[in-house]
A and B are shown apart, each in its own frame.
Chain A
Amino acid sequence: MGEGNPIVIGILAMQGAFAEHQVLLQKVRVERPIKIVLIRQVEDLAKCDGLIIPGGESTTIALLARLAGLTEPLREFVQKKPVWGTCAGAILLSKEAEGMKKGGQELLGGVDIKTARNGWGSQVESFEAPLYTEGLREPNRPFNCIFIRAPVITDITPSALSPPVQIIARLSALLLPRGQQIVAEDEDDTDPRDPQTVVALRQGRHLVTTFHPELTKDDRFHEFFVKQCVLPALEESK
């Protein structure tokens, strides 16, 4: 692969905020050009080096993917290549989900977490909060995290064979939804044992955020995904 070869990043464009991801991804500068493909059909997926699953309604995205014949190709993609899921995308990447629609819904899996849909409740409980992150550019500048009917990560248990989990951002336990609040014995409200406080994590080449970096003007998560997930995966596969 030559220096000028573009990195191809797909954005699943079934439903949701895919155009917003596109705008931020266009701002990211790495040594190779980035080509963005909106994924609506199976053919679009084959050429991608990495994939973003945007926020939207997880039930809608899953159904449209099924109707477009994308479900199995997506599952295979997740096994082989880097994927980043934001909010609804994070639910789809989960191994298990709670609060699913009646009769259950399809997930893609790929990340060893369990999520609870709409963990904070309805839209009036949606919020934004500036959080510090580990591993992004300019770690001392907080990232404005926008949570819209966001899922809550209720369990993180990497299996013996899967890569370790790296926590990127946590929320203060005080901001957790009612019923999930941790009664802290000590002053430290970011107990590393509490998965509910984790709002951004990475496992191997996959990235999960329960909030929406695509609703900000801040491209640091997009840069992180390209530089820390997609590029290293391309290096390995050489």
Chain B
Amino acid sequence: MSAQNEPSRAATPALSATGPPNGAAHATAAPTRSANRDVGNSHLGTFGVKSGLAQMLKGGVIMDVTNAEQARIAEEAGACAVMALERVPADIRRDGGVARMSDPQMIKEIIDAVTIPVMAKVRIGHFVEAQIIQAIGVDYIDESEVLTPADEQYHINKHPFKVPFVCGAKNLGEALRRVSEGAAFIRTKGEAGTGNVVEAVRHQRAVMADIRRASAMNDEELYVFAKDISAPFHLLKEVARLKRLPVVSFAAGGIATPADAALMMQLGCDGVFVGSGIFKSGDPAKRARAIVQAVTHYNNPKVLAGISEGLGEAMVGLNIDDNVKGGRLASRGW
């Protein structure tokens, strides 16, 4: 698969291109060569399997839900996955205090209620919360700045886990640091719980601009660029070759309307997360369905016009400045 033949930004590379740098323990299964045509061993939790689920979520919408009933509404509306959490980001902002991993019982109720993948959030650096979430059979973990960080220096080493991780990023360097720690899926941080898409746009544009810059560089320049953005060189080189992130990348943080979702898709995202935007709006089921359609038909303004009609009240948005209630969440993580 040469870079010239890449048809579009949307094609995430095949798994071998994205293997973790120190992934010896999770190396892709080597084909067996035995003469009696025995099958080889199977391998759980490889990077290919982890990033593979993210690839199945592409072109889809992942919705924040706080109970089984909301999860069912999301599934009926066409969500490709749900994010189980106790409070949506808008409420975390309102209530303040320390936001932690959700009650495992509540997550299990959601798992039982739906057939689509279920994700759950853990605090940045809180690897024990991640162990617990993995143990209850969640499909994906979000190491999320929306919860209060548990470690101000280190993110979770995500390679040893069988369950895959998604992480937020504001720029290319941050995205590649997360991938090097084992994240199999990247999202913009945006500014969760605001209903204001401006930060997600800023982050997505920053990532795409750096990708374009890198893809025009020779190796000498890439070494220096890797230093400048504090990214591992081999991952940056892969980005330059592919002209996209080496893993699936979604938009998140502040998406409230079908138009917001389509905007993020046209800016090069593979799909979107919608948090407070759905269940803080007037008609969640209708809005959720419209956002799902917007992500599929993002390039078709006629369809977008039709699905944007009569959706009722959108969530109340917040202006993002230094006084925003709950503070800037995107500045958490390093």
Give residues in A with beta carbon < 8 Å to B. Answer: 13-20, 22-23, 26-27, 40, 55-57, 59-60, 63-64, 67-68, 87-88, 99-103, 117-118, 121-132, 141-142, 144, 146-149, 171-172, 175, 212, 215-217
Interface pair B52/A126, CB less than 8 Å apart:
yes
Contact with B163, one of A60, A123, A216 (Cβ below 8 angstroms): A123
A-B contact pairs, 11 of them (CB 8 A): A17-B12, A20-B14, A64-B293, A64-B296, A87-B56, A117-B115, A123-B138, A124-B44, A128-B29, A129-B39, A130-B29
Given contacts A20-B55, A144-B31, contact A64 B292 (CB under 8 A): yes
Does B234 sit at the interface, judged by CB under 8 A?
no
Contact with A216, one of B14, B57, B80, B296 (Cβ below 8 angstroms): B14
Given contacts A64-B293, A142-B31, A144-B28, contact A127 B52 (CB under 8 A): no
Chain A nearest CB, measured from B199 CB (Å): 26
Contact with B52, one of A59, A171, A212 (Cβ below 8 angstroms): A212
How many chain B residues have a CB neighbour from A under 8 Å?
A: 66
Interface pair B15/A17, CB less than 8 Å apart:
no
Interface pair A175/B139, CB less than 8 Å apart:
no
User: From DSSP, what is the main secondary structure of chain B's interface residues?
Assistant: loop
Residue of A18, A55, A57, A63 with highest tally of chain B CB at under 10 A: A57
- What are the interface flags for B1-21 relative to A under an 8 Å C-beta threshold, 1 for contact and 0 otherwise? 100011110111011100000
Does B40 sit at the interface, judged by CB under 8 A?
yes
Instruction: Give the contacts of B74-115 with A (CB-CB under 8 A).
Output: 75-81, 111, 113-115
Chain B nearest CB, measured from A180 CB (Å): 15
Interface pair B115/A125, CB less than 8 Å apart:
no
Interface pair B137/A121, CB less than 8 Å apart:
yes
Chain B nearest CB, measured from A213 CB (Å): 10
Contact with A22, one of B11, B162, B297 (Cβ below 8 angstroms): B11
Interface pair A23/B42, CB less than 8 Å apart:
no
Give residues in B with beta carbon < 8 Å to A. Answer: 1, 5-8, 10-12, 14-16, 28-32, 37-46, 48-49, 52-53, 55-60, 72, 75-81, 111, 113-118, 134, 137-140, 162-164, 289, 292-293, 295-297, 300
Interface pair B40/A19, CB less than 8 Å apart:
no
Interface pair B45/A16, CB less than 8 Å apart:
no
User: Told that A102-B72, A122-B137, A128-B46 touch, could you supply 18 new A-B pairs with CB distance under 8 A?
Assistant: A15-B60, A16-B56, A20-B14, A22-B7, A40-B296, A59-B115, A64-B292, A64-B293, A123-B164, A126-B44, A127-B46, A128-B29, A128-B48, A129-B42, A142-B31, A146-B15, A212-B55, A215-B48
Q: Bound complex: CA of A90 vs CA of B164, how far in Å? A: 24
Closest 8 pairs (CB-CB, A-B)? A123-B139, A19-B10, A129-B42, A19-B11, A130-B31, A130-B40, A63-B78, A15-B59
